[in-house]
Structure 1
Amino acid sequence: MDNTSISEIIKNRRATPPRLFTKRELAKEVIEQLLESATWAPNHKKTEPWRFKIYTGDAKVKLAAETYAILKEKQAEGYPVAPEKMEKFKSTLDRVPVAIAIIVQYDLARRLPEWEEIAAVSMAVQNMWLHATELGLGAFWATPAFMELFEEVLEIKPGQKCLGFFYLGEIMMDYPSPGRGDLSAKAEWK
């Protein structure tokens, strides 16, 4: 997508289902480029609240096994997680080349409301997503309801919260745009 305008990149960005990713590994340098783009997101008081844990190769396989074991254990204890959700989560982790845990690090001085820190992390993810789109990569932000069960395995520290996983990979085929509704229904000029 060389020489593509930012407007076109924005319009071409997709939440590509991980089942449409190839299993081909991504170069570490490519992942680092995306993470670098993330760090340029706006954030209030320069808190830079984004934290990323990158899982590829054996580390990703280990994460898939550990999180699945946690889900099985919690399900046996009565935690309401559907078996098909557990299987889908594990198979997705097994399938995608890159899984990045998206973590917010709240300002420990509590100078900012929680929503501002989450918004900054969301903009960091959007930067990664747009850069991935420019490179022709697929991306998907998964936010399963059971993320809080993985705090120990993800080594979540006090003042942090995992906001899901950002999956990356080469895509097998284009995924069509779901389109957008008419702007006039969402914008009101005064």
Structure 2
Amino acid sequence: MSAEYLKELITGRRTRKPALFSKRVPDRESIIQLIDAARHAPNHHCTEPARFYLLDSKTIESVGRLFGEVVAGDASDPVLVEKGERKKEDWGTAPGLLIVTCRTDRSSALVRKKPAIIEEDYATCSCICQNLSLLFEARGLACKWSTGPVWEHPRFAETIRMREPENERVVALLFYGYSEQELAPRPLTPLSEHLISEY
């Protein structure tokens, strides 16, 4: 892979709405291979903190239903109820959803000795999610990295069968699928506003 191609992947990757994904379901084995490749990310102390929940359609539908409930709240506001129904449909019918969590045992000797491990592990998982989004892009798959509050729902951990809820926190809900939606690269503010190079 050339540096130019990688640059194009990074700058051209855009978030696309799951509601606009086609119903074609990406091959599960191919997704597993991408997950395995994405794990190769900087990881201080080699803790390998990422956990991957590759959901089936039934569980995706359940997550969509939970998010609809979160958005609707106590159902007293008809606007929120309608928005909740849309989210339930948009999320619950997505062709693919991968949930990435960060597993750090806060009671471990390593964390007690160096509490910064908690943030280092989270940073590793964020790198993995970026790797995944670029790998999806390279395979012609659209992706949306969401941190929607559905994971705060009391039934969320049970719904996805989270292994260690007491030690895991959600980093990303990665929706993926095929999309014809064309988006121009996102403009950023000039680098000069963020780069300090006068040394």
Q: CA deviation at 1:116?
A: 1.3
Q: State the partner residue of 2:90.
A: 92
Q: State the partner residue of 1:137.
A: 141
Computing the radius of gyration over CA atoms, which structure comes out larger, 1 or 2? 2
Map Cα deviations across residues 113-135 of structure 1 (whole Å, 9 max, x no partner): 22211111100000101111111
Q: CA deviation at 1:77?
A: 9.4
TM-score by length of 1: 0.84
Q: State the partner residue of 2:129.
A: 125
Q: State the partner residue of 2:20.
A: 20
Q: State the partner residue of 2:55.
A: 55
1:45 equivalent in alignment to 2:45 = yes
Q: Which moved more, 1:2-11 or 1:179-188?
A: 2-11
Extract structure 1 runs of 4+ deviating beyond 4 A.
Answer: none
Q: CA deviation at 1:139?
A: 0.4
Distance, in Å, in 1 between the alignment partners of 2:6 and 2:104 is 30
Q: CA deviation at 1:60?
A: 2.1
Q: CA deviation at 1:152?
A: 2.8
TM-score by length of 2: 0.80
For the Cα contact (< 8 Å) 2:145–2:175, is it kept in 1?
A: yes
Task: Give 3-state SS (helix, strand or coil) of 1:53's partner.
Answer: strand
Q: Which moved more, 1:88-97 or 1:22-31?
A: 88-97
For the Cα contact (< 8 Å) 1:101–1:166, is it kept in 2?
A: yes
Distance, in Å, in 2 between the alignment partners of 1:133 and 1:69 is 28
1:170 equivalent in alignment to 2:178 = yes
Q: 2:195 aligns with which of 176, 187, 190?
A: 187
Query: % of aligned pairs identical?
Result: 24
For the Cα contact (< 8 Å) 1:106–1:159, is it kept in 2?
A: yes
1:151 equivalent in alignment to 2:157 = yes
Map Cα deviations across residues 73-115 of structure 1 (whole Å, 9 max, x no partner): x93499xxx4355334312222321011121101442145222
Change over 3 Å in CA distance of 1:85–1:161 after alignment to 2: farther
Q: CA deviation at 1:70?
A: 5.5
Q: How many residues align?
A: 185
Distance, in Å, in 2 between the alignment partners of 1:164 and 1:88 is 20
Distance, in Å, in 1 between the alignment partners of 2:68 and 2:134 is 34
For the Cα contact (< 8 Å) 1:12–1:177, is it kept in 2?
A: yes
For the Cα contact (< 8 Å) 2:13–2:137, is it kept in 1?
A: yes
Unaligned 5+ segments in structure 1 are none
Alignment root-mean-square deviation, CA:
2.6
